[in-house]
Amino acid sequence: MKGMIFDLKHYAVHDGPGIRVTVFFKGCPLHCLWCHNPESISPGKELMLMPNRCARCGDCVKACNYGALSQKADGEVVADRNKCTLCGDCLKACAREAIQIVGWETTIPEILAEIEKDRAFFDQSGGGVTLTGGEPLLQPEFTEALIEELKERGLHVALDTSGYAPEDTFLRIAGKSDLVLFDLKLMDEEKHKKFTGVSNRLILHNLRVLDSKTQVPVWARFPLIPGVNDGERNLEEMADFLVSLKNVKLINILPYHKGGVEKFRRLGRETEFQVFEPPTEENIDRVIKFFQEKGFQAKKGG
């Protein structure tokens, strides 16, 4: 069995308790206009150019046998991704690693071998493994099998999910996790469609079902996007929804940042996303205080 991932980070401290290994699955059913990891959305491999590393020597252009790469008058390399076969010849020709193919197929034993390197850190810090993305539930068989192997080894497993998956798939896999990091963005369905590309009905339904049928603790994760979801109405509706759930233990406020903007450009997909202004510290504190006054544990990040 093979899965498609685009990153694996050791010593992560922002994706659950303790020191963790975070596995990033490729592919996401949502298309959030503020996405921090736009390379996670497509389920397949992608070509990424990094002009800040490029020597503008043209070696990659010469190595491409499909005419997918060319140079502008100033030497900048550009890609016609419709012609690219992801053969990797350009990567081999580039001495400065200014070209990458994002995403690779891997197996559960390969992932486990990386994870086991950090077992001592898990034991000391109460950490474990977080499966994130993208959306791990887009690869349900692989994700479920990986969780089962991790549990066999006595490792703490956190599932970071948008909740946008068939109910039976979501409930089965989330129910095997030790912690669910559940993304909540907007309560208004039409706004949710506008900014993420999908309805939130299934998302909210799945969280209700998880809460009613399991005891799995949930950390709600709220990406704070000024002008999109920081208004009083959205906050009130979100608090009203979450207060009805018994297993929500924490609300993580995740302030928007512009880290994804350069990635949009590197992928040649800048027209698909929007650039927002990051929230001020005053705005972040206001939202944290709002949820705390509603009786929740809330904090920045996590």
CATH number at residue 183: 3.20.20.70
In this prediction, residue 302 has a pLDDT band, given cuts at 50, 70 and 90, of confident
Q: Which of 84, 101, 118 is the last residue of a domain?
A: 101
The structure's pTM equals 0.95
Count up the domains in the chain and report the number: 2
d(CA 33, CA 30): 9
* CA-based max dimension of the chain: 62
pLDDT, tens digit, 9 for 90 and up, residues 125-181: 999 999 999 999 999 999 999 999 999 999 999 999 999 999 999 999 999 999 999
In this prediction, residue 105 has a pLDDT band, given cuts at 50, 70 and 90, of very high
Q: Beta strands of the chain (E only): which ranges?
A: 2-12, 20-25, 46-49, 69-71, 77-79, 99-102, 104-107, 128-132, 156-161, 179-183, 218-224, 248-255, 298-300
Instruction: Indicate if 153 and 289 belong to the same structural domain.
Output: yes
Instruction: Indicate if 223 and 94 belong to the same structural domain.
Output: no
Picking from 186, 275, 184, 173, the residue whose alpha carbon sits closest to that of residue 214 is 173
Q: Which of 101, 118, 136 is the last residue of a domain?
A: 101
Beta-sheet pairing, 128-132 with 104-107? unpaired
Domain that holds residue 267: 2-43+103-300
Give percent of the chain above pLDDT 70.
Answer: 100
Assess whether pLDDT exceeds 90 at residue 242.
yes
Question: If you ran DSSP here, which 8-state letter would residue 273 be given?
Answer: S
Instruction: Indicate if 75 and 212 belong to the same structural domain.
Output: no
48 three-state secondary structure:
strand
